[in-house]
């Protein structure tokens, strides 16, 4: 695995962006989507969060 170095300022901005994303409704829908994919059964668009 290669190592990538980024400036500290850029890293902090990315970290802050992740914190904001995790508080968003979109993130919750993505988690629900993943949970529905893992569960057994037939899938419908609404089950997958579309």
Report pTM.
0.50
Average pLDDT over residues 12-41: 85
pLDDT for 39 beyond 80: no
Distinct helix (H) and strand (E) counts, the chain: 2, 0
pLDDT for 24 beyond 80: yes
The residue extents of the domains of the chain are 24-50
Decide if 23 contacts 43 (C-beta within 8 A).
no
pLDDT of residue 41: 62
Average pLDDT, the chain: 83
Average pLDDT over residues 3-24: 92
């Amino acid at each position: 695995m290669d190592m990538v170095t980024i400036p500290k300022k850029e890293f902090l901005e990315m970290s802050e962006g992740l914190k904001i994303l995790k508080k968003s409704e979109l993130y919750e829908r993505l988690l629900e989507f993943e949970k529905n994919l893992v569960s057994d059964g037939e899938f419908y668009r609404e089950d997958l969060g579309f």
